[in-house]
Amino acid sequence: MVKYFSTRGGGSAVSASEAVLKGLAEDGGLFFPDHIPALTKSLKELSEMSYQDVAYEVMRLFLSDYTEEELKNCIRNAYDSKFDTEVIAPLAYAGGAYYLELFHGATIAFKDMALSILPHLMITAAKKNHIKNDIVILTATSGDTGKAALAGFADVEGTKIIVFYPKNGVSPIQEKQMVTQRGENTFVVGIHGNFDDAQNGVKKIFGDKEFGKLMEESGYQFSSANSINIGRLVPQVVYYVYAYAQLLKEGKISDKEPVNVVVPTGNFGNILAAYFAKNMGLPIAKLICASNENKVLFDFFRTGIYDRNREFVLTSSPSMDILISSNLERLIYLIAGSDAEKNKELMMQLSMSGKYEITTKMQEKLQDFYGGFADEAETAKMIRSLCDDCGYVIDPHTAVAACVYEKYKAETKDGTKTIIASTASPYKFTRSVMRALGKDEGEADDFVLADRLSELSGVKIPEAVEGIRTAPVLHDTVCEKGEMADAVRRYLGI
């Protein structure tokens, strides 16, 4: 039975289902398994399995208090026709690398991989732990996560989801995606304020003891769907195992042949999942961590110093515009030798001064990682050259990864076969992509641009874009930033 501890040492061990329900440990640390389990099926056996079966084989090892029936049920409900391909996460070969397409879910970005199963893991966890309350997910979003969470939780019985977004702070397509969200249990509110106001408002409601009491009396309790929940991390381990197994099945690699993995990184969740896969025994050689111009992680891997004190840059890969990569804490804990005290000390420094430095001994344990970054011009050039050479169009996040991989190869001459995590469909960032291809004439709206991209790439416009073109607006609530708690109360009728 795998138990979970806080990376800061506080509190007692909890089961996997309790960790999924709690999200964050009480002392502010992240839950970490007492050991990383080894794969119990051979790579050969895994190569014969469907995505869903691989998901079961991987997830059962981490979520060991879920029964076989419970977990299989969660998997069945998550990885179904919401995805536009039966293989869920296909591989495409282009420009000397295998692109692992993680964008075939409801919102055409990789967060669907985890957010389509998290709601099911949560309600199962609630049942297992005899919680009668409905789970209310409260989220502030700057655009993408909110929609992915809405899509994941929509019509999941026993849950409600409330999303706050800055009314004038998201793109027109992002807003349209959210306000057209179906589902009896969904509630989307625009606020007069920016993303920080939305975030602070949500934190305030979470921390309000009186509000919590009122919720409890009315049969509700809050939970959070953010990326530090192990219920988001564990499902992300699956697709690395699946990708390797598929390459083996297709004879692209031999059994146990090492491969590199390149991940466009923001919060460090996706690449951490690849590191977990490696620690389970998957033959991964290098983990290549790709950053955009917000290159905190690149500097960290180079120097051992994590320093968020710098200018925040807005880029064409907004989901990687992050200065504090919250999931990095799990890696820090691990390379500190599972020393919670040491980790806590560094995290305190981070919150006090925005900076910490790891020891030489810890740095030596980072040999598996390589950090790189790509600036805006390099990213655009990468999109264009891959399209010109292979006819394959990638989004700006994936292009950051592809570009860092090119730099890595030039620097190291490493010829190991490589998987690049492709985290968003080019249709999610149509304007940036068309601009990179030199095809943005400036005036066309995003849907017209999508039509042009389709003509150019020969790839059909995904339902996630096509569907909202004409979809009716179902949410039109707007409130002041000081009125968020009232909006929640009114929606829940409490």
Q: Where along the sequence are the contacts to ligand PLP (CB under 6 A)?
A: 109-111, 144, 227, 264-270, 319-320, 397, 423-424
Residue 139's φ and ψ, nearest 5 degrees, are -140, 140
The sign one gets for the Cα dihedral 170, 392, 267, 306 is negative
Q: Considering the complex, what minimum distance in angstroms separates the CB of residue 227 from ligand PLP?
A: 6
* Nearer Cβ to ligand PLP (23/484): 23
Placement of tokens 């800055």 in the chain: 166
Strand partners for 356: 306
Q: Considering the complex, what minimum distance in angstroms separates the CB of residue 174 from ligand PLP?
A: 12
Neighbours of 81 (CB within 10 A): 6
* Nearer Cβ to ligand PLP (162/263): 263
Q: Considering the complex, what minimum distance in angstroms separates the CB of residue 421 from ligand PLP?
A: 8
Neighbours of 475 (CB within 10 A): 17
Q: Considering the complex, what minimum distance in angstroms separates the CB of residue 234 from ligand PLP?
A: 13
* Nearer Cβ to ligand PLP (269/371): 269
* Nearer Cβ to ligand PLP (66/370): 370
Geometric angle at alpha carbon 116, from 291 and 141, rounded to 5°: 55
Please report, in angstroms and rounded to a whole number, the separation of the first and last CA atoms in the chain.
39
* Nearer Cβ to ligand PLP (253/261): 261
User: What one-character-per-residue DSSP string does 431-461 give?
Assistant: HHHHHHTT---SSS-HHHHHHHHHHHH-PPP
- Chain-centroid distance of CA 416 in Å reads 26
The sign one gets for the Cα dihedral 106, 112, 113, 119 is negative
Q: Considering the complex, what minimum distance in angstroms separates the CB of residue 289 from ligand PLP?
A: 9
Q: Considering the complex, what minimum distance in angstroms separates the CB of residue 439 from ligand PLP?
A: 21
Contact 284, 256 (CB under 8 A): no
Q: Considering the complex, what minimum distance in angstroms separates the CB of residue 274 from ligand PLP?
A: 10
Contact 91, 101 (CB under 8 A): yes
Alpha carbons 453 and 447: distance in angstroms, whole number: 10
For residue 239, give Cα distances in angstroms to 207, 258, 350, 492. Answer: 35, 16, 32, 37
Contacting residues for 304 by C-beta, under 8 A, at least 6 apart: 357, 358, 359, 360, 362, 363
Contact 137, 224 (CB under 8 A): yes
Contact 267, 327 (CB under 8 A): yes
Q: Annotated catalytic residue: which of 3, 22, 111, 278?
A: 111
* Nearer Cβ to ligand PLP (269/372): 269
111 catalytic residue (yes or no): yes
* Nearer Cβ to ligand PLP (423/430): 423
Active site residues: 111
